[in-house]
Structure 1
Amino acid sequence: MQVHTRHTPSFGVARVTLSPGEAVQADAEAMLACSFGIKEARQGRVNVRGGGRTTAVFTAPAEGGWIDLAPSHAGDVYPLEFNGRAGWSVARGMVLARPASVRADAQWPALRALFGGDSGFLEHYSGSGSLVLACAGPVDAFTLESGEVITVSPRFLLAYPDAVQCRLRAVDPSGPQSVRTGEGLMLDFAGPGTVLVQARTRSR
């Protein structure tokens, strides 16, 4: 699977090129166009921030093919590359397309420790290949040196790798807080590593 983007960062479109018989899971409603012969199998709806969406598996015919994916909202599309060794924690609801070689780790220990038994605003992925993210704005990268610490609002966070240390804390311990949405919370990150953020939020 190869990913090429265009019209970024304002109105990104991702072209996913598939080898013969290769498949990709994607947001069914984002399918703009595809080469002839691509097969689509609907999988049902999943809940994401701001509502739900229908996922589907798109499979290439014997000669291979491509599919163009355009998110319903303005912003960037960003292929996050997995090397088969390190995983990434990704903001929930940001995944536009995922190959079978990248898996979702529902019980990732670090996130269970971060959020307790609740379903938080992050998901963990690992494997190899390109995980295509649909962002609310341009993507910025903060490259942290060893021991360098920054604070990021959950509303803008996109993803961070396993090597980066993360701490979740309340802005005001007496105020409202939600691990499902990130309301009233902040994230502290310590390097070395790279933290990805989106320069806009969908609420805007």
Structure 2
Amino acid sequence: MQHRTKHEPSSALLEIRLDPGESLRAEAGAMVARSPGLSTAVRLNAGRGAGFFGRLKALVIALLRKLAGGETFFVNHIAAPEAGWVWLAPPLGGRVLHVPVRGEAVLFSAGSYLASAGDLDVTVRWGGLRAVLARESLFFIEASGVGDLWIASHGAVEELVCDGSLVVDSEHLVGFDASLTLELRSPGGGLTGLMVSGEGVVCELSGRGRVLVQARSPGALVGWLSPLLPP
């Protein structure tokens, strides 16, 4: 699928061109503009081939995400009865990264998913009890199959190779290969640290695979803005 990113690094705008018969899934609210020949429909993202219980599970997760962080997991399905184009943009300033997925599974932090195309299954994975205790994101986005994926970062994004173990601040983690094992830890270690403080929580990744990190922290931006806002 033809695509290009414009106005990087601080104000990325993704342009995707669709041939007749192609389709694209994009995070709800990401569309900036499109050609009139394309059609769009908002749907609950329950994953490919999900039955009744799969859709019910996706609905519950969408409601939990809305309550926990102001997010849902609805997507725009953009179809091309005729050739056309669409512009997409993330909510925060930063980069848009194209990630080809060729049979492996990749996990991304909630909020980084922008769009996907091809034979990809994009679902939500529970982050575990430790994520709740650390007051981190309750969910990850998992993409598996074969296709194209576009993710957004806050600030610049860098790819690291984990070969053994790697420690990344939780707010700077964008994505990682599902072959890696992730553990949330406090700098001092132990479950008590996770329960009493969400500050300085780090992700320890083990195994071999790629890790994507972002240069800026959304939480730090919120903390900087909050004192400046009127009561």
Does the pair score TM above 0.5? Answer: yes
Change (3 A) 1:67 1:177: farther
SS at match of 1:155: helix
| CA-CA distance at 1:163 after TM superposition | 3.2
The aligned residue for residue 70 of structure 2 is 51
The aligned residue for residue 153 of structure 1 is 169
Q: Does 1:8 align with 2:27?
A: no
Residues in 2 aligned to 1:114 and 1:102: alpha-carbon distance in whole angstroms: 28
Question: Which of 197, 202, 210 is the aligned partner of 1:186?
Answer: 202
Higher helix share: 2
The aligned residue for residue 167 of structure 1 is 183
The aligned residue for residue 93 of structure 2 is 74
SS at match of 1:36: coil
Change (3 A) 1:177 1:64: farther
Gaps of 5+ in 1: none
Tell me which amino acid in the other structure corresponds to 1:197.
V
Change (3 A) 1:177 1:22: farther
RMSD of Structure 2 on Structure 1 (CA) = 3.1
Residues in 2 aligned to 1:104 and 1:113: alpha-carbon distance in whole angstroms: 22
Residues in 2 aligned to 1:27 and 1:106: alpha-carbon distance in whole angstroms: 13
| CA-CA distance at 1:137 after TM superposition | 1.2
Residues in 1 aligned to 2:38 and 2:208: alpha-carbon distance in whole angstroms: 42
Gaps of 5+ in 2: 45-58, 222-231
TM-score by length of 1: 0.79
Identity percentage of aligned residues? 32
Q: Which has the larger radius of gyration?
A: 2
* Equivalences for residues 41-120 of structure 1 within 5 A: 41-43=41-43, 46=62, 47=65, 50-52=69-71, 55-61=75-81, 63-84=82-103, 86-99=104-117, 101-106=119-124, 120=138
Does the 8 Å contact 2:113/2:152 carry over to 1?
Answer: yes
| CA-CA distance at 1:30 after TM superposition | 2.2
| CA-CA distance at 1:100 after TM superposition | 5.0
Residues in 2 aligned to 1:122 and 1:82: alpha-carbon distance in whole angstroms: 17
Residues in 2 aligned to 1:103 and 1:39: alpha-carbon distance in whole angstroms: 21
Change (3 A) 1:40 1:105: closer
**Deviations 1:134-167 (Å, cap 9, x if unpaired)?**
21111111123x33x2211111100111233433
